[in-house]
Amino acid sequence: MTTCSRFRNANNISRRFDVKESKSEGHPYIPNSVKSVQESMMTDIGIRNIEELYRSIPLSLRLNRLLDLPKPFSSELELKRHITTILSRNRTCEEFISFLGGGCSRHYVPAICDEINQRSEFLTAYAGEPYEDHGRFQSLFEYQSLMAELLDLEVVNVPTYDWSQAASTVIRMAGRITDRDEIIIADTISPGRRAVIRNYCHPVMKIDFCKHDPETGLLDLSDLESKFTSRTAGIYFENPGYLGPIETQGESAARIAHAQGGLCLVGVDPVSLGILEPPGDYGADIVCGDIQPLGMHMHYGGGLAGFIATRDKKEFVMEFPSRLFGIARTSVEGEYGFGDVAYDRTSFGMREAGKEFVGTHSALWGITAAVYLSLLGPEGMEKLARTILERSLYAQNRINEVACLRSPLFTAPHFKEFVVDFNGTGLSVSEINRRLRKRGIFGGKDLSRGFEDFSGCALYCVTEMHTKTDIDRLADALNDICSRGVDDET
Amino acid sequence: MMKHKKPETTVRNFHQAKWDEPIVFELHTAGEKGIGIPESEPGIKKAVGNAMDSIPKHMQRRRPPALPEISQMRVLKHFLRLSQHCLGADFNIDIGQGTCTMKYSPKIHEELIRSTHVAEIHPDQHEETVQGALEIIYLLDLCLREISGLDRFSFQPGGGAAAILAMTSIIHRYHELKGEADVRDEIITTIFSHPSDAAAAAVKGYKVITLYPEEDGLPSVEALRAAVSKHTAGLLITNPEDTGIFNPRIHEFTDIVHRAGGLCGYDQANANGILGITRAREADFDMSFFNLHKTFSSPHGCGGPATGALGVKGYLEHYLPIPLVSLEEDVYRLKHDLKHSIGKVRDFMGVFPVLVRAYAWIMSLGGEGLKEAARVAVLNNNYLLEKIKKITGAEAPYAKDRHRIEQVRYSWRKLTDETGVTTEDITCRLADFGLHLWSSHHPFIVPQPFTIEPTESYSKKELDEYLDALRHVVKEAYCDPDLIKSSPHRSVVHKIDPSSFDDPEKWAITWRQHLKKHGGSI
């Protein structure tokens, strides 16, 4: 793109919002923009103008003009109005009844979760020492500990970016632990996650896929057994799977992997663990998933954060790339201190010789999940999961009552998500969803893109947020839409 | 005994909050409840019966999770107290965390991102229902194109290291399509570039060649010439490097790597001093990334969520992660058809609230304001340099008598030699004054390092306060080193015993491990 067209772009922004020119000197975010202060500092440095400080940058590398950006807003009020105007073009899941899930789902966020994560102390802290940032270390240690109880495992990391990163890392960990470079993945994982894993593993590890049973939606164990060899580092599957079924054969899958000296790697929706057996208890060696359901808003996908958990075995712990905060004694008896466990495994300590890489990931969401789990406790987690199970089951049945629809597509038990088959309607999922939007509903995710086996199907997600009225409204709307069939709607 | 503030110094009579707060599990009282959970309506219960019957027995959880039971206000109080045990940039004069650009994160941004129009949108909503989100992404892309001189941005990477991985993945894919991936198996970086430049390259299977500085603090052109070969896949480099020294021969670097057939990726984690001054394009980089949580004001959140905004030259656009946002006849669309795309590096579209904040920040400053922010950041840095190098025991290795860009990696070597007080000791003591000091990334090429980056956000008065605290601590180091070695004294905790952290028999990463290994006693 040429500079000229960039100029036009910038002007586009200005024109669209009629931005006024700012005339005043100084800026509220830049205290030392005061000229007299600058002059006094320059005197101390022994320079006459700030340009002298840039002498090391050759003129040939300089941008000899001002950046061609829109004129800024000179007041907070105008800035707020500008951005609010843009954002108001979004339609939200509060205005619509949304049945979208597939890795990011709408759960209730207790008020205290937001109260804590907007605290300046947490929001604007970063990489302080365990002294002045004791609270950051303790709250993340508590996050690790609370997750460990939910997962029934001993070691949990400071959160990574998201589930897909966690799954990718779990696979690489398995490769290092077993010293093998092949992995088998359930072919029902999401296309997005598949793409992240593929990029993260390529070219170091080879990926093969385990088929699913088209009737149940569960792992095809005979396919897994035939593909799992002494070169395979492990099997990665999710429970409940992306398409909704609860994988009931986890123990058998783990046995197949272990028989060949490989590992069993399981991704799990933590909100299901109030009622579902944690994967570690049916043989999983490494467990991962996303904590977004535990107190995070969806934020257009920005609320995701991945977890990784193992047993307390040195050969597993030493393969984590993430920070692991540990509890320790201090010079005062009975006082809790915290710090990094096995720091020298990380890339901060070892650069390319460290385990993968660590950096800024999603710590604030870990603190938020700690608040969430402390609020819900064992009873709350169980009740929540039961409510989701009931509502989802109710929705599956109600949709199945609509002529031409099949719900759920698979015969296995489901937890919160399920596939609805629209192939009998003569309408595409995209058309169904368009008509649902007109009725104030966001229909399930269209699986036609990236999941060719499920063309004409959609993934529906039901949580504690959906009332009976919401679900009935969906079923009635689908009934109406399907009964009209291909006739165009006004 | 607490010392009282002397009138001639700005050193604060500080004491951090100390609540002596237990671990959350210790707050447990059986039967207490933090929040009520909605139950299904009778109509649903009647229709589905006992829903648990749908789940085979062996998949039903046998033992409830041993989470604590705590009433709501106590949970709130617990985490509020823990928050007070934390010094965010909003409290601290947070200039001691060099390389991390701890600038002001405007509060209006928080108000914006907490609106339902940001918080309650799902990433798989139909395009027509997220036109506002797509517009922000599109406009931010336009802004960053101009700021970098590159041609297209992806906001998918969830942080700087993820953006480096994405750059490395593009390098790999580029050579793969040319049939040269097997031969081109080396990435070159420098020791004063972020550790993730080396680490992410290794994740993609590359051998890493690291260039070390000459006396001027910079890697030499000759060393780079010796390092490139038919095996060179690319260069990943920071400039200015973590020393705050700008490499004036950077264009020669990119030329050499290009001539050898490699691609050049610019780690712009240290961009805050050069906004509007020099760009990736002028130095002929093929791609670069900005940390929106550093340079573009998004708060660091104790370590994320964040964004590494990844920009490329036009000819690499088709390699970017999918999807991108395009504008077609006044409607924003998601663009999936990128023929050489590396796929994805994160679920969905990245961390949207960070993008809103970055866009808002740019729209608060404009071209002139961005340049002013950079100039003031550099002015602040050189003011500190001038003062710190006069502090006994402190040194600024490399590039003697030259100005730096946005930060300096200093050394307490002399102080340590003369008093035995180390950088680590000083970081502990500064906590007593409500301040933070960071050493640097490993390995410690600069002995007893500390890295200071003042950004544009702190006033001269605040910089002077920080300087006073440094001088005060140095004075103590010469008069009463034990006072420093036994610090902190006025922080939340006292000297931590690190002996369990590297011992698998003793480390306790979770409370249940702690109970098992240490019986709960500390």
For A393, the closest of B51, B108, B507 (CB atoms) is B51
All residues of chain B having their beta carbon less than 8 Å from the beta carbon of residue A8 are none
| Residue B60: C-alpha distances to residues A147, A216, A254, A278, A283 (Å) | 18, 19, 18, 9, 15
Domain span at residue B78 reads 19-48+65-84
Residues B256 and B331 in one domain: yes
Residues A33 and A117 in one domain: no
> Does the residue A161 lie in any domain?
yes
Query: Which residue does chain A place closest to B109, by CA atoms?
Result: A80
> Does the residue A103 lie in any domain?
no
Mean pLDDT (whole number) for B468-485? 97
Distance from CA of A171 to the nearest CA of B (A): 12
Task: Please give the torsion angle defined by the CA atoms of residues B294, B295, B296 and B301, in that order, rounded to the nearest 10 degrees.
Answer: 10
> Does the residue B442 lie in any domain?
no
Residue A267 region by backbone torsions, left for phi larger than 0, else alpha for psi between -120 and 50, else beta = beta
For residues B309 and B158, give the distance between their C-alpha atoms in angstroms, rounded to a whole number.
Answer: 9
In 3D space, the residue among B209, B197, B137, B195 whose CA is nearest the CA of residue B167 turns out to be: B197
For B347, the closest of A162, A312, A414 (CB atoms) is A162
**ipTM of model:** 0.97
Q: Which residues contact B155 (CB under 8 A, 6 or more apart)?
A: B137, B140, B141, B292, B307, B309, B310, B349, B350, B351, B355
Q: Is there a contact between A94 and B120 (Cβ–Cβ < 8 Å)?
A: yes
Out of B364, B392, B423, pick the residue that ends a domain: B364
Residues B69 and B160 in one domain: no
Residues B300 and B172 in one domain: yes
Out of A319, A351, A372, pick the residue that ends a domain: A372
Query: Which residue does chain B place closest to A324, by CA atoms?
Result: B509
Residues B169 and B265 in one domain: yes
| Domain containing residue B187: CATH number | 3.40.640.10
What is chain B's percent helix, strand, coil content, to nearest 5?
40, 10, 50
Contact B512 A50 (CB under 8 A): no
Residues B146 and B246 in one domain: yes
Distance from CA of A144 to the nearest CA of B (A): 6
**Total domain count, chain B:** 2
- Residue A299's Cβ-side half-sphere holds a number of Cα atoms within 13 Å equal to 27
- pLDDT over 70 (residue B121): yes
The neighbour count for residue A65, using CB atoms within 10 Å, is 9
For residues A165 and A161, give the distance between their C-alpha atoms in angstroms, rounded to a whole number.
Answer: 6
Residues A64 and A163 in one domain: no
Tokens 């504690």 sit on residue = A464
For residues B345 and B340, give the distance between their C-alpha atoms in angstroms, rounded to a whole number.
Answer: 14
- What SS3 class is residue A213? coil
For residues B63 and A274, give the distance between their C-alpha atoms in angstroms, rounded to a whole number.
Answer: 10
Is the Cβ of B230 closer than 8 Å to some Cβ of chain A?
no
> Does the residue B489 lie in any domain?
no
Quote the pLDDT of residue A4.
33
Strands B232-238 and B207-211, how do they pair?
unpaired
- For residue range B328-386, what is the model confidence (pLDDT) as tens digits? 999 999 999 999 999 999 999 999 999 999 999 999 999 999 999 999 999 999 999 99
All residues of chain B having their beta carbon less than 8 Å from the beta carbon of residue A91 are 121, 125, 129-130
> Does the residue A386 lie in any domain?
yes
High-pLDDT (> 70) share of chain A, %: 94
Quote the pLDDT of residue A22.
45
The beta strands (E) that lie in A413-464 are given as: 417-421, 441-442, 445-446, 457-461
> Does the residue B96 lie in any domain?
no
Mean pLDDT (whole number) for B278-296? 98
Q: Which pair of structure tokens corresponds to residue A306?
A: 């991945």
Q: Is there a contact between A415 and A244 (Cβ–Cβ < 8 Å)?
A: yes
Q: Is there a contact between A307 and B132 (Cβ–Cβ < 8 Å)?
A: no
Q: How many residues does chain A have?
A: 490
Residues A220 and A252 in one domain: yes
> Does the residue B428 lie in any domain?
no
The neighbour count for residue A28, using CB atoms within 10 Å, is 12
Out of B332, B364, B396, pick the residue that ends a domain: B364
> Does the residue A389 lie in any domain?
yes
- For chain A, the straight-line distance linking the first and the last C-alpha, in angstroms and rounded, comes to 42
| Domain containing residue A217: CATH number | 3.40.640.10
Angle at CA of residue B220, ends B218 and B224, nearest 5°: 120
Residues A230 and A284 in one domain: yes
All residues of chain A having their beta carbon less than 8 Å from the beta carbon of residue B37 are 376, 380, 383-384, 387, 464
**Number of Cβ pairs < 8 A linking chain A and chain B:** 758
> Does the residue A489 lie in any domain?
no
For A53, the closest of B81, B342, B382 (CB atoms) is B382
Is the Cβ of B62 closer than 8 Å to some Cβ of chain A?
yes
Strands B186-190 and A206-210, how do they pair?
unpaired
> Does the residue B123 lie in any domain?
no
Asked if the bond preceding B240 is cis, omega within 30° of 0, the reply is yes
Given a cut of 70, the residues of chain A with pLDDT beneath it are 1-24, 488-490
Confidence of residue B3 (pLDDT cuts 50, 70, 90): low
Instruction: Give chain A's mean pLDDT.
Output: 94
**Total domain count, chain A:** 3
Quote the pLDDT of residue A5.
39
Residues A127 and A64 in one domain: no
Quote the pLDDT of residue B520.
75
What is the per-residue DSSP string for B334-374? EE---TT----SSSTT--HHHHHHHHHHHHHHHHHHHHHHH
Q: Which residues are registered as beta bridge partners of A308?
A: A288
Contact B130 A10 (CB under 8 A): no
Residues A75 and A208 in one domain: no
> Does the residue B417 lie in any domain?
no
Contact A54 B248 (CB under 8 A): no
Instruction: Give chain B's mean pLDDT.
Output: 96
Contact B85 A32 (CB under 8 A): no
The beta strands (E) that lie in B400-455 are given as: 408-411, 449-452
Residues A362 and A219 in one domain: yes
Residues B160 and B71 in one domain: no
Q: What is the DSSP letter of B454?
A: -
The beta strands (E) that lie in B239-330 are given as: 263-267, 287-291, 308-312, 324-328
Q: Which residues are registered as beta bridge partners of A306?
A: A160, A290
| Residue B392: C-alpha distances to residues A311, A321, B80, B348, B418 (Å) | 50, 39, 40, 52, 10
Q: Tell me how far the alpha carbon of residue B225 is from its chain's centroid.
A: 31
User: What residues 245-284 of chain B have any CB closer than 8 A to a CB of chain A?
Assistant: 245-246, 248, 250-251, 274-279, 282-283
Q: What is the DSSP letter of B2?
A: P
| Residue B404: C-alpha distances to residues A3, A42, A291, B152, B467 (Å) | 30, 14, 42, 30, 18
Q: Which pair of structure tokens corresponds to residue A266?
A: 């399981």
- pLDDT over 80 (residue B85): yes
For residues B282 and B311, give the distance between their C-alpha atoms in angstroms, rounded to a whole number.
Answer: 14
Residues B160 and B229 in one domain: yes
> Does the residue B491 lie in any domain?
no
> Does the residue B310 lie in any domain?
yes
Residues A294 and A441 in one domain: no
Q: Which residues of B432-460 are buried (b: 16+ CB within 10 A; e: fewer)?
A: bbbbbbbbbbbeebbebbbbbbbbbbbeb
> Does the residue A101 lie in any domain?
no
- For residue range A173-186, what is the model confidence (pLDDT) as tens digits? 999 999 999 999 99
Which one-letter amino acid corresponds to residue B146? Answer: E
> Does the residue A95 lie in any domain?
no
Residues A198 and A232 in one domain: yes
For residues A353 and A361, give the distance between their C-alpha atoms in angstroms, rounded to a whole number.
Answer: 20
Contact A134 B492 (CB under 8 A): yes
Task: Please give the torsion angle defined by the CA atoms of residues A464, A467, A471 and A477, in that order, rounded to the nearest 10 degrees.
Answer: -130
All residues of chain A having their beta carbon less than 8 Å from the beta carbon of residue B313 are none
Residues B166 and B224 in one domain: yes
What is chain A's percent helix, strand, coil content, to nearest 5?
45, 15, 40
> Does the residue A105 lie in any domain?
no
Out of A322, A350, A372, pick the residue that ends a domain: A372
- For residue range B382-434, what is the model confidence (pLDDT) as tens digits? 999 999 999 999 999 999 999 999 999 999 999 999 999 999 999 999 999 99
Q: Is there a contact between A163 and A190 (Cβ–Cβ < 8 Å)?
A: no
Out of A372, A394, A422, pick the residue that ends a domain: A372
Q: Which residues contact A5 (CB under 8 A, 6 or more apart)?
A: none
Mean pLDDT (whole number) for B183-201? 97
Residues A166 and A289 in one domain: yes
Residues A331 and A367 in one domain: yes
Distance from CA of B517 to the nearest CA of A (A): 11
- For chain B, the straight-line distance linking the first and the last C-alpha, in angstroms and rounded, comes to 26
| Domain containing residue A407: CATH number | 3.90.1150.10
Quote the pLDDT of residue A17.
46
Residues A211 and A335 in one domain: yes
For residues B288 and B367, give the distance between their C-alpha atoms in angstroms, rounded to a whole number.
Answer: 20
Residues B146 and B200 in one domain: yes
Domain span at residue A81 reads 3-87
Which residue blocks in A46-133 are alpha helix, DSSP H? Answer: 76-87, 111-117, 120-123
